[in-house]
A and B are shown apart, each in its own frame.
Chain A
Amino acid sequence: DSGVTQTPKHLITATGQRVTLRCSPRSGDLSVYWYQQSLDQGLQFLIHYYNGEERAKGNILERFSAQQFPDLHSELNLSSLELGDSALYFCASSANIGITEAFFGQGTRLTVV
Chain B
Amino acid sequence: ILNVEQSPQSLHVQEGDSTNFTCSFPSSNFYALHWYRWETAKSPEALFVMTLNGDEKKKGRISATLNTKEGYSYLYIKGSQPEDSATYLCAHHNTNAGKSTFGDGTTLTVKP
User: Which residues in A have some Cβ–Cβ distance to B below 8 Å?
Assistant: 2, 33, 35, 42-45, 48, 50, 55-58, 90, 92, 97-107
* Chain A residues in 8 Å Cβ range of B91: 43
Chain A residues whose CB sits within 8 angstroms of the CB of B98 once the complex forms: 48, 50, 55-56, 97-98
User: How far apart are the CA atoms of A82 and B93 in the complex, in Å?
Assistant: 30
A44–B32 alpha-carbon span in the complex (Å): 17
Task: Enumerate B16-35 residues with CB–CB distance to A below 8 Å.
Answer: 31-32, 34
B43 within 8 A of A: yes
A-B contact count (CB 8 A): 65
A105 touches B43 (CB 8 A): yes
Contacts of B105 in A (CB 8 A): 42
Cα(A55)–Cα(B100), bound, Å: 11
Given A2-B43, A99-B32, A102-B34, A43 contacting B96 (CB threshold 8 A): no
Q: Name the one of A42, A50, A98, A106 contacting B100, with C-beta atoms under 8 angstroms.
A: A98
Residues of chain A lying within 8 A (CB to CB) of residue B51: 99
Q: Which residues of A contact B103 (CB under 8 A)?
A: 42
Q: A97 to B43, Cβ gap below 8 A?
A: no
Verify if B86 is at the interface (C-beta below 8 Å from A). no
Measured CA separation A56–B97 after assembly (Å): 8
